[in-house]
């Protein structure tokens, strides 16, 4: 067991009233939450997103990334469908932490791209771990998901954990002059399914 369930409650949002489920990592005490809407344990694939914490984008409205835009769009899509879930994972900055993320941003200010910045700080390009997702989904009775993501590595990681991903749902939103280089780097160096312009088809 990677995480243990702690408690659930109702969470009203501008997108609808979700159920919020709290989980704690057994080994580290790190806390994660899942927001669910509607019936998700009926055996049908569930529209879902795994969203790694991005304080700057999710809470401080940063335009340097597309994280906040993706968070809002995922919740909107779940609400429109009437059922689904969002796993909010506490792994800031693709796993390097908030203060190291600020250091990485400083290197980007000086000309490095998002991958080069992490490497210069001594980290891999992406340190995120999705192992807690399996326990969360099993607790909620979810057997298969339709995953909202542009990241092929995320699909592969979840499938390697034994999670059935029946469909990859694109989530391309929020491209702006401040994050174009960031998005283009994710496409070129990390293989993300992203178009070069917001209205183009992802490649």
Confirm whether residue 16 is marked as ligand binding. Answer: no
> Buried b / exposed e across 115-144, counting CB within 10 Å, b at 16+?
bbbbeeeebebbebebebbbbbbebbebbb
- Residue among 41, 58, 64, 126 flagged as catalytic: 126
Confirm whether residue 196 is marked as ligand binding. Answer: no
65: nearest Cα among 182, 195, 189: 182
Q: Is position 41 annotated as part of the catalytic site?
A: no
φ, ψ of residue 116 to 5 degrees: the values are: -60, -40
Instruction: Name the β-bridge partners of 34.
Output: 21, 87
Confirm whether residue 50 is marked as ligand binding. Answer: yes
Confirm whether residue 72 is marked as ligand binding. Answer: no
**Six-digit token string for 193:** 């399914």
CB-CB contact of 164 with 145 (8 Å):
yes
Confirm whether residue 67 is marked as ligand binding. Answer: yes
Confirm whether residue 153 is marked as ligand binding. Answer: no
Confirm whether residue 4 is marked as ligand binding. Answer: no
Q: Is position 83 annotated as part of the catalytic site?
A: no
- Residue among 10, 41, 58, 128 flagged as catalytic: 128
What amino acid positions are annotated as catalytic residues? Answer: 126, 128
Which residues belong to the annotated binding site for GTP?
49-53, 70, 92-94, 114, 149, 154
Which residues belong to the annotated binding site?
49-54, 65, 67, 70, 92-94, 114, 149, 154
Which residues belong to the annotated binding site for Zn(2+)?
54, 65, 67
């Amino acid at each position: 067991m990677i995480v243990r369930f702690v408690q659930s409650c109702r969470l009203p949002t501008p997108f609808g009233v979700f159920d919020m489920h709290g989980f704690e990592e057994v080994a580290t005490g790190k806390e994660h939450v899942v927001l669910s809407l509607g019936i998700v344990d009926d055996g049908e694939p569930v529209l879902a997103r795994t969203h790694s914490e991005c304080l700057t984008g999710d809470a401080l409205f940063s335009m340097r990334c597309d994280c906040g835009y993706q968070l809002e769009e995922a919740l909107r899509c779940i609400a429109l469908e009437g059922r689904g879930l969002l796993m909010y994972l506490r792994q800031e900055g693709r796993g390097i932490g908030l203060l190291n993320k600020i250091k990485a941003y400083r290197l980007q200010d000086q000309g490095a791209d998002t991958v080069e910045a992490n490497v210069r700080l001594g980290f891999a390009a992406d340190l995120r771990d999705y192992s807690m997702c399996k326990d969360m989904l099993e607790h909620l009775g979810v057997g298969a998901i339709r995953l909202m993501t542009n990241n092929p590595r995320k699909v592969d990681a979840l499938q390697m954990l034994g999670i059935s991903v029946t469909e990859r749902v694109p989530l391309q939103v929020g491209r702006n002059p401040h994050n174009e280089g960031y998005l283009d780097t994710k496409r070129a160096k990390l293989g993300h399914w992203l178009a070069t312009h917001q209205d183009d088809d992802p490649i």
